[in-house]
Amino acid sequence: MLLREGGEDGEERIDTSPSLLSKLENALTGFTRKDNTPPEVRGWMKKKKTPDDVFKALKLDDELETVLDNEKLHLWVDFVNKFNKKNRGEREVTILGMLTKTYGDEALAKMLETAKQNPSTVWLATKLQNEQQIVWMLNGLSPDFVFKWFKLDKGTLEELLSNPALGVWYHFFHGLNQFNPDRDVTMITKFVDTYGDIPLAKAISAAMKDGDMQLVVSRLQEAQFQKWRLDGRDPGAITKLLLKDRMGWKNQGIFRAYNTFYEGANKVDDLDTSVAVASLRCS
């Protein structure tokens, strides 16, 4: 408790005597000095180990696919936090930097995309993927470069839609074009020009059955549907195109999906029009 003493002029002043301030300081530092650092981390710090030393000692350099789910990674992070704090002013050690140095940019990117499907690693994988792709952007990488870098321009359409690297490219493209409202149409046009409209629609529909690729592939399908609608193609026009295929009867799922999308988009447009008219009447 701070005591007040009366001064010569009758005013009260706060007691700032050295003894009281010392007691307060000791009381405060008592809370901050409580050290919950794991004993292993304290030992590594005492032995002046480096992040590389500890990463290898914990065998975190053995298996890329499971490293994010490895409980020892948390222990390494605790050590790195201490290490960075002690070595302020030097280049900071990060999880992304260590994983990139150990496993390589390309392999890490594919692993992070796959790890986003795992509930126990989705948060960390998404965070690291965002950080990695920001680095790519800062280094001037383009979507076309990344597409070729991951060899997405090689192989069949079916192989493309089953490749986890497609998800890497998709998120990079979206991040780089986040302020472009036409980004989805621009993206799908690239695929249509390369593979053809109906073959692409059929391959996307088939790839929707792959649980690991479903999220990205469903967004590609939505982008293609959006392009069809903007091009003035109603479900009837798409049905005619689908029936030209000799296995047209297998394409009913595409028609149903587009019909649902088309009707939903029209309802949104009608609602937007109604709101706009109502606003004009009120003004």
Complete DSSP assignment for 17-40? -HHHHHHHHHHHHHHHT-----HH
Residue 41, pLDDT score:
94
Residue 16, pLDDT score:
46
Residue extents of the structural domains in the chain: 45-83+92-140, 142-283
Burial of 181 (0-12, 13-18, 19+ CB in 10 A): exposed
Q: 5 - beta bridge partners?
A: 13
Separation of alpha carbons 169 and 187, rounded Å: 11
Residue 70, pLDDT score:
94
Structure tokens at 270: 């009608």
CB 262 within 8 A of CB 233: no
Residue 279, pLDDT score:
54
Angle formed by the axes of helices 214-230 and 252-282, to 10°?
60
Residue 2, pLDDT score:
44
Residue 133, pLDDT score:
96
Residue 15, pLDDT score:
47
The model's pTM? 0.76
Q: Is 4 helix (H, G, I), strand (E, B) or coil?
A: strand
User: Which residues of the chain carry a pLDDT beneath 50?
Assistant: 1-8, 10-16, 24, 29-32, 275-278, 280
Structure tokens at 241: 């195109």
Residue 86, pLDDT score:
93
Residue 123, pLDDT score:
96
Separation of alpha carbons 6 and 109, rounded Å: 69
Separation of alpha carbons 217 and 157, rounded Å: 12
Which residues have C-beta within 8 Å of that of residue 164, sequence separation ≥ 6?
A: 110, 113, 114, 212, 213
Structure tokens at 168: 């890497």
